[in-house]
Every structure is written in C-alpha cells, then in structure tokens.
Amino acid sequence: MKIGVVIPIRVGGSLSEETKKSLNSIQNHVSIVKIIYGKNVSRQRNIGVKEIADSVDVIALLDDDVSFEPETFMNLVSMAYESSMIVHSDASWFFRPEVYAKVGGFDERFVRVYEEDTDFNERARRLGLFLRADGVKHPKKVPTFRKLFLMRFNKAFYMLKNERSLKEWLRQLSMPFRVKHPLRFLAHLCFYIGIIYYALVIAISGRDRNFIS
C-alpha cells in the first residue's frame, strides 16, 4: 500500500518541531510528502491531493502543527483504506483519493482558513463517508482578535450551507450582544458581514461545488 502525505503551510510559515519528528518517524512507510504553500488552506489541500492522487492508495492530509506516534498513523491509514471512509483525527484526515473526490474536496470559497474543515466533515457525514478517530494530537490555541474576526466571517458560510436549526441561527445572531469587550463585539459583527458576502457567493456559484472533479 502506497501512502502519501499532504501538508498545507501558510506563506512564510513552517512545520512545527513536533510535526517534523512525527514525519521522521514514518518516513519508511510513506512514498510521497507534498508540502503546499499558500494563503487559502482549502485550495492548498485540494492541489496537494490532486497532485499525488494517482500515485498512492491512501492520503494523509495533515496540519503543519500536529503530532502522532507511528503506530497510530499506520492504524489510521489502515482504517481509511479498509473502510473507504474519510477518517478524521484532530486536524488530520486519512482517505482513499477516490473517496475524497466523492466528497468534493475542501470548499475553496472559504476565505483563507477556519470553518472549511467543519464544512468538509459535514459533507462527508451527509454522504455516509465520515469516521472520527483518536490518535493525532493538535495543540489548542487561543485565537487572536484578527483570527476571531475571520472565524466569525467564515462561520456565516458554514451556517448558510449546512445549518437548518432556527435555534442555532438565533444563537449565532445574538452573539454580538452577549459580549462586553468592544473588539469581540466587532468580531461577532463579522458574522453579519459574512452572511451578506457568502449569500452572494452562493447565489453566483451555488451552495455546494466539487473542487476535485
């Protein structure tokens, strides 16, 4: 079984030391490691997958700051190969290339990063192709205000595409009025801006698109 690894890294970024150590521990098992630099993580992931899809049986799509034990990595690879499912383990995905294509890849219309992973998982789940597994470790980080602005902006796209619960919509819409910090208030207002922007995106290009075929 041939295994490929794809890792998107932002322009100017680099692999964490933990990720380097983890990759070194599996180098004898992996045929290809593809690192894609860019500013749109969805596009980077899709490009990397398409470039190696014909050369491998299973692809591990990793973030640039994850860590894992080699036994865990191989177990997740085997799970993806045998089940023909998208196996998700904390900021990492394991899959056969043809299964990734069925889901349609990551939606490249999300601005830069955030919520594109939740959207991908939800689309895989709706197709009955999603499995969650433990094993990969991903550090939890407190978002900066700049990142919080983008998180709330992209949350609007996820909601427009996937959320049908009126209760959840009301909860999201009320968030700006439940915080006291002025910057957090402004960040949550980005959700409203995102609704307008992404409603236009959906009107022009549709709710879901396949970025692999």
Q: From CA 158, how far away is CA 116, in angstroms rounded? A: 8
Q: What is the pLDDT of residues 163-192, one digit of tens each?
A: 999 999 999 999 999 988 898 899 999 999
**How many angstroms separate the CA atoms of 165 and 160, rounded?**
11
pLDDT for res 143: 82
Inter-residue contact 206 to 164 (CB < 8 Å): no
**Average pLDDT, whole number, for the chain?**
96
Helix residue ranges, H only, the chain:
17-25, 41-52, 70-83, 97-103, 116-126, 145-162, 166-174, 182-205
Q: Are strands 58-62 and 92-95 parallel, antiparallel or unpaired?
A: antiparallel
Q: What is the pLDDT of residues 118-166, one digit of tens each?
A: 999 999 999 999 999 999 999 988 888 889 999 999 999 999 999 999 9
44-102 pLDDT tens trace: 999 999 999 999 999 999 999 999 999 999 999 999 999 999 999 999 999 999 999 99
pLDDT tens digits, 37-57: 999 999 999 999 999 999 999
What residue ranges define each of the domains in the chain, with the CATH number in brackets? 3-132 (3.90.550.10), 145-205 (no CATH)
| pTM score | 0.94
Q: Are 46 and 108 a contacting pair, CB within 8 Å?
A: yes
- Please give the structure tokens belonging to residue 167: 């209760």
Q: Rounded to whole angstroms, how far apart are CA atoms 190 and 52?
A: 37
